[in-house]
Each structure stands twice: as C-alpha cells, then as structure tokens.
Structure 1
Amino acid sequence: MIKDAQSATTRYANAGSIFASCGAPYVAYRRPHPPAVLDYLATQWGPAARPHILDLGCGPGTLALDLADRGSLVTAVDMSEEMLAAGRGWAQARGIRSVTWKQADATEAAALARATELFDGVTIADAFHWMDRPRVLAALDQAVRPGGFVAVVGYRAPGTQREWWHPLLEQVRLRWLGSVNLAGPATKYVEPAGGHEEIVRGSAFSQVSVLRTDYLRTYTLDELVGLQGTYAYSSAATLGDRKTAFEEDLRRTLTAARLDGRFEAVLQAAVIVGRRPAAT
C-alpha cells in the first residue's frame, strides 16, 4: 500500500484557509459534474429510498447539493468555514434543506457516523489529493455501512488531455506566481504519492469499478478568468495586489488565442468506486 507522507493537517498547518477567498467564485464559476456522473452515483446506493451520503472536501456543495436534489440526505464536510458558509447560502438560494454542513478534517469521518446510522456511501469530488488518503479510507471503513461505497470523483480522468487553453493559463501563472505550485498564500502544494485508484485498491474498499465519461465543457472569457479565483494557487488571497494585473494579462493572452471569447473542450470525467470485497 502506498502511504501519503503526511496528513492534510500536518502538510498544511493552515488547512482551513487554503481556499481563502475562493467561496463566492467557486459558487459562481465552478461547473457542476456531468449528468452521467450523477446518474452513475445514483446507481450506487441500491434500494435505499433516501440514502445518507457523506461528502468529504465538499467546498460550497458543488456535488453535495446535486446529490440532495436527487433525494439524498447529505452530510457535507470541509475544513474551510468560508466554503461551508458559501454552501449554506447556496443551499438556501436553491431551496435545499437536506444537507448538514460540518467543519472537520476528513480523517474524522468515523466520528461523524453514529453506530446506529452508518453512511450509505461517501463521495470525494476533486478533493482527494488534498487528503491523507490511506488514513481517510481507514476512517471510512468505520463510517460506511456493510455494502456501502466510497466514490472518488474527478472532473478530469488522470492521464487524459487537459483543456487546450491550459498551457496558456500556465504561462500567465508562471509570470505572476512563479514555478512553485501553491496551496494558498505562501504555502507549497505537496504532491501525493500514487494514483487515487491505486490508493483505493489498497484500502478496505478494494473491490473497484471505474466510470470514465466524455463531456463538453464551455466557458466565456469572463467565466474562464473568474474560474482562476477558485483555485488555491491563483486565488485572490494568493495573488494579493497582483490580482488585477494577473487578470488583465490573462484576458490579453486568452483573447489573442480566441477572438470570439468562446472556450470549448471535450474532457473525460472519472468516478472510482470502491467497495469492500464480498465475504467468501
């Protein structure tokens, strides 16, 4: 089994503030997961009429609120109180009342489940790389009911092509932020060891199935510029007084590449579902 070197709280002393300033932009500019991903997740909880799903690293509820729209009770967990506050506001605006928001580290998952009410499943969407993955999965073994699942969701499957404009974004980031990949202001991002699927296979949830599905993603120039504020490495908090100049440079660079201001790419999302092997 590959082990991450450190837990999120050890790697990042400021784990709760990595996404400072990202809450409102996240709600405004992050895209929902493709319908095929939501359809696939909905097949995982079996006959449960109203499954109880734990969504770890929930942000402002990008996935949690869509799961709630599909009839789930959701416990949404994040280290950032700013993200949770954005999620509560977004849920209220959408009229969703079946999400409970909790500020906690993902390794505390076992404590979130009551002995009489384990979770039917767990989702971790575009957040697993921030976590001490083996420790989280070990905690989930105490939090997920027999027959339940863990689903790691990614907007882009590992090894697949990025958006065609990604190198342009990288050039601008390099000019304004340097070559160090940041986890929020003044904190270096720590690359986890090993792929997500490999980590899941090495856990109690070693019976793995994977969905990979193509989908179209489209942004306007304003949306693509706004999206940069949702990333820890290019957030307003990270850029500070460079934010305006960064965005002006980004607009010039992107406009030169696409005069009509339309940015479109086909991506491939992935869902890695792990279950405990059936007893023999």
Structure 2
Amino acid sequence: MSLFHATADAYGRYRPGLPDEVVLLLAGTLRGIRRPALLDLGTGTGQVPTALLPVLPRRARLDLVDADRDMLDQADRTLRPLLTGRAAAYHPVGAEDFTAPDKEYRADLVTCARAFHWMDRPAVLAMADRVTAPGATLAIMGDGSLWTHPAPWTVALRELIQSYLGTERRAATAGAYAQPRRRYEDDLADSPFSDVEEHHFPIRRVWAPDQVIGYLRSTSFARPDLFGDRHPVRDRGPVPSGTACGNGGRARRGRSVRRPARPSAGRCPMSGGERHTVPVDVHVIAVREGEKGPQVLLSRRSGTVYAAGHWHFPSGHVDGPFEDVVTALVRETYEETGLVVDPDDVRAAVTVHHRAPAGSARVGFFFEVRRWSGTPEVREPAVCDAVDWFAFEALPEPMVAYCRAGLEAYRAGVPVALHFQELGDPIGYDPAVDRLRLVPAPGCAERRLGLR
C-alpha cells in the first residue's frame, strides 16, 4: 500500500497546480528543442505535465512515473483529451527504479514536485544522470504544506489533527514521518547536477472549508483511513485567508548560474489605480438530435459548490495564461462528463459578461459541440450528481440563471451578451427577474429576447 493509497481523487482535485511563473521558467529550459522529452517523477495525478502541456510542442514526449497506479490512472484520465498528438507513457514504479524505455531515450527536462523528500535521493539523481540528455535540466519543486505553515489557523488545524493521531506527523500507515537526514542541496552537490539555480516564488492562496478538507484527504498525514469514522474536520465554518510561499530549484549539467529570487507576481499598475481582472470560465453547449428535436447536455451541481442542486452546462475555469479557452473546454468536458472532444470540432457560441448577485464578475466563453466520442456520465460525484439530455423547449428546474442566459443568447445568435444580476437576485433562473441583455453583431438590428 502506498503512502497516498486511495487519495488520487482528492489529490487531483484539491492539490494546487503550478504557478504561472514556474511554468514559464520550465518552458524556457526547453526552448529550441523540437522534440523535447519530459520525465516527471512522483507525478501523482499529473499536475506538472498538465500545467506544462500548453507550452510543449506537439511532438513532445511525456513520461510519468509514480508507484501508485491509482494516481497514474487519474493522471491518464486528465491528460488523455489534452495530449493532441503528444506521446505519453505511464510507469508504475518508484522514481529510483525508472529505466529508459528504449536505448535512444534521453530526457531533456526532469521534474519532481512535492515528492523528492519521499525518495532515495542519491539513487534518483544517479538514475536521472543515466537517462538525461547533455545539458538537461532537473527541476525540484516544493511549496510546504498546511502541516508546516505558521498561520494561526493552520497551527490550530495541526493541533486538531494531533489530538486524534498523536503529536508526531504521520506518514500514512507507515508510522511517524522521518525528516531526511541530509539537505537536498547536499545531495545535489554530490551529484552530476551540482550546478544549481534557486528560484523563490511567493504565493498567496485563499482556502475555503471544502478545499481544506479535500486537501487533508489527499495527504499522508491526514488521509481519511487514519481516522476511521472520526474525521476531525467537517463543516466547521469559514477558514481564514492564508498564504503559502513556494520555492524550488533547478539543477543543470554545465554552467553554474545563481539568480536572485523573483518578486511576487502582482497586478499591473495603470493610470487611475489597479487593473481590474476577472475569472475566465468555459461552458460546453453539447447538442444532439433527439426524437423530437435538438437536445442539450446539462449537469446538476451538488455538494458544497456554488448553486448546488441547480442544472448547469459542464463548465470550468481556464488554468492560467498558458491554457487557451478551447483547451480548457476540452479538458473540463472530459473531466466532468467523460466526453472526448476534438478541438477542431469546437465552435464559438457566445461570450457572456456576468455579474453574480453577490457582486463578483466574470467572463464566460460558451462553445457549441456537436461531435464527440464517449457517453456522458458523472465523473466528479463530489460536485455533480447527475448528467442528462434535455429538449430546448423542456429545460429542467432549477437552472443556474447565468447558464440559462448563455443558452438563450446562443439561441438568439448574438456574439456577446451581458448578464449583470443585482443584489438579492436569485441564483436560479426566474423569468420574472430578467437581466439578460443581448449585444448584436454589426449589421444586425438590436433585439431583446424574452426568456423561455
């Protein structure tokens, strides 16, 4: 049994991804390589390869290594619809035991995020020396954990866990966690990867209660089976904002360069104050022909998410500046429904500028899809409890008002729509509270659509 046995779903859902600055830094190490090979050690659910895919050329090769097969299966499900021609191989072995798939194999970038401390580090470095190309980069990344972070609320959280499991940090069912006897810097100094650059990226994260619980379920020190039926964290109210500082290094064969830490990413200054930014999300309008006319695919939100119990399009957010909206749509559609969509089959439907009743705004890109492979199913039961097809004239209730606005704007054939709700408006669609405003294309008479 691995340290992270039965945690793959929580790991993939609640472990933070790579900061954009890290993606940019790693992408720079592969610049000019036509067919780069990425080797990710201790890949978990494939967060590093997933973050790097948008900046990897179509001829890139990915090798994911993890001893936990459940983790690799989750990584495969996440990556498969996003590869678009890139080759990916999954290796269910420890990092120390990885061997080159063939005699010609040479990795150009080896990554290891949040996992190096679990490994036989000298053995891993020796293995990396055997399988890497001249001038290859080894990137070791870490960002601490809620166990070690010193904020008052994380200290209280750690004490709560200790009240159940004892004062020592657990390493799953293997007993207490043992700190490595040597610093990883010393292991690097004694390896062929002794020319080291260090980069520090201050990161601010805000944790909601469900994110904290999900994160804990993904860890070796608080995974659910350690508590039996006595899990200590269940709906205990709001969690304060927290910060976490991530850091990492990369070691390269060749010239030694040490650079100062990069400043934290901030908002761009502009005349009159700070630049306004909003989240970008994507929605798939999957349409098929039914016995009585066209039908659209909807999913019902569940759990602790916004608008639980309401029907909505399969949707999600763009994961940073290296993922375009079409790639995000393909990824989210597969993650939520299991449908595999070819990016070439995606059609622009409408863009909606939306403001929720509480005042937060966002921009949603709605896309029409009429071709796919697979059968829709519930793939994320923690946030969705049903998927089904509905005729356009027989839509279910309750339905998220934002989603319904996008659907009606799509049916009206306009390229852009506004949906600015007011304080006190219902989250669900109510024909008596009509906030949809259509923005026609040039040359079209301005129209106003009565919602059906």
TM-score range, shorter chain: 0.7 to 0.9
Deviation at 1:265, TM superposition (A): 2.8
| Aligned 8 A contact 1:26 1:227 in 2 | yes
1:274 & 1:235 partners in 2: Cα distance?
Answer: 33
Tell me how far apart the structure 2 counterparts of residues 174 and 123 of structure 1 sit (CA, whole Å): 32
Matched, 1:263 2:240: yes
Match of 2:37 among 47, 52, 65: 52
1:76 aligns with 2:64: yes
Instruction: Look up the equivalent residue of 1:271 and give its one-letter code.
Output: G
- State how far apart, in whole Å, the 1-side matches of 2:70 and 2:3 are: 10
Aligned to 2:91: 102
Q: Quick check: 2:207–2:242 contact (8 Å CA) kept in 1?
A: no
Distance 1:156 1:232, change over 3 A: closer
Whole-angstrom CA distance in 2 between matches of 1:118 and 1:20: 31
Question: 1: CA distance between counterparts of 2:16 and 2:151?
Answer: 14
Q: What is the one-letter code of the residue matched to 1:191?
A: Q
Whether contact under 8 Å (1:154, 1:270) holds in the other structure is yes
Residue of 37, 43, 49 corresponding to 1:64: 49
Partners of 1:201 and 1:238 lie apart in 2 by 37
CA offsets per residue over residues 58-85 of structure 1, 9 Å max, x none?
A: 0011112112232143211001011111
Q: CA deviation at 1:163?
A: 4.5
Determine if contact 1:69/1:96 at 8 Å carries over to the other structure: no
Shift of 1:40: 0.9
For structure 1, the 5+ residue unaligned runs are: 1-13, 256-260
In 2, Cα distance between the equivalents of 1:193 and 1:186? 18
Instruction: Please state if 1:247 is matched with 2:233.
Output: yes
CA distance in 2, matches of 1:130, 1:197: 15
Seen in structure 2, the aligned counterparts of structure 1 residues 34 and 268 have a Cα distance that, compared at 3 Å, is: same
What CA distance in whole angstroms lies between the structure 1 residues aligned with 2:116 and 2:110?
Answer: 12
1:170-202: per-residue Cα shift (whole Å, max 9, x none)?
Answer: 111101111232221253322211222232122
Q: Which residue does 1:258 correspond to in 2?
A: none
Distance in 2 separating the partners of 1:229 and 1:150: 29
Q: Could you tell me how far 1:226 is from its partner in structure 2?
A: 1.5
The answer on whether the counterparts of 1:18 and 1:185 sit within 8 Å (CA) in structure 2 is yes
**Secondary structure of 1:63's match?**
helix
Q: Where in structure 1 do 4 or more consecutive aligned residues deviate above 4 Å?
A: 160-164
Tell me the secondary structure at the aligned position of residue 173 of structure 1.
helix
Gaps of 5+ in 2: 257-452
Instruction: Report the count of equivalent residues.
Output: 249
What SS is found at the alignment partner of 2:251? strand
1:233 equivalent to 2:221? Answer yes
Distance 2:101 2:198 in 1: 26
Name the SS of the counterpart of 1:269 in structure 2. strand
Q: CA deviation at 1:29?
A: 0.8
Using the TM superposition, give the Cα deviation of residue 278 of structure 1 relative to its aligned residue in structure 2, in angstroms: 4.9
Give identity over the alignment, percent.
27
Task: Report which stretch shifted further, 94-103 or 146-155.
Answer: 94-103
CA contact (8 A) 2:203 2:244 kept: yes
Q: Which has the higher helix share?
A: 1
Which residues in structure 2 correspond to 1:145-164 (within 5 Å)? 145-156=133-144, 162-164=150-152
Does structure 1 conserve the Cα–Cα contact (< 8 Å) formed by 2:135 and 2:254?
no
Instruction: Select between 45-54 and 117-126 the one with higher mean Cα deviation.
Output: 45-54
Q: Tell me, in whole angstroms, the C-alpha distance in 2 between the residues paired with 1:163 and 1:50.
A: 44
Determine which structure has more spread, i.e. the larger CA radius of gyration: 2
Distance 1:103 1:230, change over 3 A: same
Q: Which amino acid aligns with 1:100?
A: A
Larger deviation: 191-200 or 207-216? 191-200
CA distance in 1, matches of 2:240, 2:22: 22
Residue 128 in 1 paired to residue 116 in 2?
yes
Does the CA contact (< 8 Å) of 1:76 and 1:102 recur in 2? yes
The Cα offsets for residues 142-191 of structure 1, whole Å up to 9 and x where unpaired, read as: 0111100111011249xx96454320121111011112322212533222
Task: Return the offset for 1:50.
Answer: 3.7
Q: Which amino acid aligns with 2:114?
A: D
2:261 matches 1:275: no
TM-score, structure 2 length as denominator?
Answer: 0.52
In the alignment, is the contact (CA less than 8 A) between 2:108 and 2:136 conserved in 1? yes
Q: Which residue of 2 aligns with 1:37?
A: 22
Partner of 2:160: 172
Q: Which has the higher contact order (CA 8 A, sep 6+)?
A: 1
2:149, 2:155 within 8 Å by CA — same for their partners in 1?
no
Are 2:65 and 2:92, in contact at CA under 8 Å, matched by a contact in 1? yes
